[in-house]
């Protein structure tokens, strides 16, 4: 059991590094595309027609991967006010939040997969790509969030999302 926990934490660290690297690349790309749009629109008076759409899709990917990292670090849920005022509810509220979050993420994963499959028949308006690449952010993000949530449970069975694992 100790080996499983160590392997899970090691895999969690590896996935988090990949997520952080992906966010860096995506944010840099988003910044470059947005900057190019501003320059071409206001300096050259000839806007890039595809830049707004690409920026939107990049932002969705950044949001979903960033949400997964937030789940990993326990920075996602705003229950601190309730917990500070009523610390006695923490033992019951923690597992309940974890269960509700897992259920929501499973629904998001299933819906995201379904929407991605439907979007595979559509093309982007201004980009030479299928829409499945934009919609794929939903199941990927939900899957990553579920993975990090599972690591919380594996790391310490009594632990819940309100108390993320510490290294």
CB 149 within 8 A of CB 98: yes
pLDDT at position 80 is 61
pLDDT tens digits, one per residue of 65-76: 999 999 888 776
Kindly report the number of other CB atoms within 10 A of residue 110's CB atom. Answer: 12
pLDDT tens digits, one per residue of 127-154: 999 999 999 999 999 999 999 998 988 8
Largest CA distance in the chain: 63
CB 93 within 8 A of CB 163: no
pLDDT tens digits, one per residue of 13-69: 999 999 999 999 999 999 999 999 999 999 998 989 999 999 999 999 999 999 999
Residue range 109-113: mean pLDDT, rounded = 96
**DSSP per-residue codes, 83-130:** HHH-GGGHHHHHHHHHHHHHHHHHHHHHHHHHHHHHHTT-B-SSSSSB
């Amino acid at each position: 059991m100790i080996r499983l926990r160590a392997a899970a934490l090691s895999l969690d660290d590896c996935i988090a590094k990949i997520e952080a690297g992906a966010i860096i690349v995506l944010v840099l790309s988003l910044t470059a595309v947005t900057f190019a749009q501003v320059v071409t629109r206001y300096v050259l008076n000839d806007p890039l027609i595809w830049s707004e759409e690409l920026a939107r899709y990049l932002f969705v990917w950044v949001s979903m991967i960033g949400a997964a990292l937030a789940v990993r670090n326990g920075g996602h849920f705003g229950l601190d006010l309730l917990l500070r005022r009523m610390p006695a509810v923490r033992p019951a509220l923690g597992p309940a939040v974890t269960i509700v979050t897992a259920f929501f993420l499973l629904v998001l994963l299933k819906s995201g997969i379904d929407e991605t499959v439907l979007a595979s028949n559509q093309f982007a308006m201004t980009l030479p790509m299928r829409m499945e690449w934009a919609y794929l952010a939903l199941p990927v993000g939900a899957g990553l969030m579920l993975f990090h949530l599972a690591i919380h449970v594996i790391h310490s069975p009594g632990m819940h999302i309100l108390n993320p694992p510490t290294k």
